[in-house]
Amino acid sequence: MNILITNGRLIDQTGDRLASVRISDGIIVEVGDQLAPDSDSSRDERLIDAAGLVISPGFVDLHVHLREPGREEAETIETGSRGAALGGFTAVVAMPNTDPTQDSVGVVEFVRQQGKRAGLCDVYPSGSITMGRKGEQLTPFAELANAGVRLFTDDGNGVQDPQLMRRAYEYASDLGVTMAQHCEVESLTAGAVMHEGSCCSHLGLPGWPSLAEELMVHRDIELVRLTGAPAHFLHLSTAGSVALVRAAKADGLPVTAEATPHHISLTDELLASYSALYKVNPPLRTIEDVVAVREGLQDGTIDAIATDHAPHVSETKEMPLDQAPPGMLGLETALGVALAHLDMPLVDVVAAMSWKPAAIAGIADRHGRPIAPGEPANLTAFDPNETWEVVPAELASKSRNTPFIGVPLTGRVKHTILHGDIVVLDGKAQK
């Protein structure tokens, strides 16, 4: 497909400017002012008028649960990929808590191939740190790395054994891969439903202390200091965690971190409704924590915005709060939540959703690239000023567990281009 995007505001790591972009055979071939349509009548060139829109490198989500294989009633790789494309993502990293677990080359290749069949965004499987995510035996890191896995995580659980985690970091250092840690000391969270604080005491619900996250953040920072291996911290949610990562970066340690849209926008007080739509892992925290996480994104302590997209069928989310599974949708609302709640320059928000996570995922040669001739055409076009609300029936996901119904969001994706193909046009998926 040949495409000419005109009148756009281009934002990438090289700056912010007005320009047009010509794409041919999946590659950006020309960027400049007032580009004219191709004069060769034999070439079919699709014109997109991007007046009022921002054109950026495609977004990259470090943290999605696509459920397939094993839980296709909640989501499939195809439906999750469609939601990703509608949210402006051209690449996502699929978490390994599938059934079977992504702890073997066979399962990893299945996930990758299902992503290719869908053809809506690039799906990069992560690998689990331990076999079956049981925290007992390390996975075959070298085999998985040779199969293209760059991020390893037991997400949904933190690796509880510090000696086992030390060995994981030592292997990672040799292989050039990254351990992505879900920070939770489980002995402190058994039976917990929500954040431990005044709100949970008032509601009479079991509390989840900030310390459960912060102890593991501290442990893994010290393991990074010992081994020299890189670490990525998933879904940071507390002021203490942000402070620990900030200090580690000041020490020059190779650590990165992400925050979710819900941890920059929602607080634990919403659990007063007893609605499981607000139950997540880690839990929603206090407004002080929310402000600290926002500040972490603003000053670069937290590198990326990652959705932790976690679909669940309605029956499970309608269970009593202590029995319902944690998690909420995020792919289609991430930009709208971020722009509605972050007091950051637009270029910094785009960086946290595009080239910064691309670098962490090890895919910066294909995604999050500058908008320049010779670069792959993985692009997102969005209106940064449009306000809108979620219509559940219009979501691409098979699930509906979003807390943002009826909540005004700011910024909406209009077009997504993957490898030079238009996969979203005027806010509608093309596949």
Nearest C-alpha neighbor of 333 from the set 275, 272, 396: 396
Mean pLDDT throughout 259-271? 97
CA distance 151 to 168: 12
Per-residue pLDDT tens over the stretch 396-426: 999 999 999 999 999 999 999 999 999 999 9
Is 308 a catalytic site residue? Answer: yes
* DSSP at 36: P
Per-residue pLDDT tens over the stretch 72-120: 999 999 999 999 999 999 999 999 999 999 999 999 999 999 999 999 9
- What are phi and psi for residue 30, nearest 5 degrees? -155, 135
**pLDDT for residue 41:** 55
Give this prediction's pTM.
0.97
Mean pLDDT throughout 188-205? 89
Q: How remote is the C-alpha of 394 from its chain's centroid?
A: 21
Q: What percent of the chain has pLDDT over 90?
A: 95
Per-residue pLDDT tens over the stretch 345-365: 999 999 999 999 999 999 999
Mean pLDDT throughout 8-26? 97
Band of pLDDT at residue 200, cut at 50, 70 and 90: confident
Q: Is the pLDDT of residue 13 over 90?
A: yes
For residue 138, count CB atoms less than 10 angstroms from its CB and return exposed for 0-12, middle for 13-18, buried for 19 or more. Answer: middle
Which token pair is 34? 């007032």
Q: Which of 308, 322, 348, 383 is catalytic?
A: 308
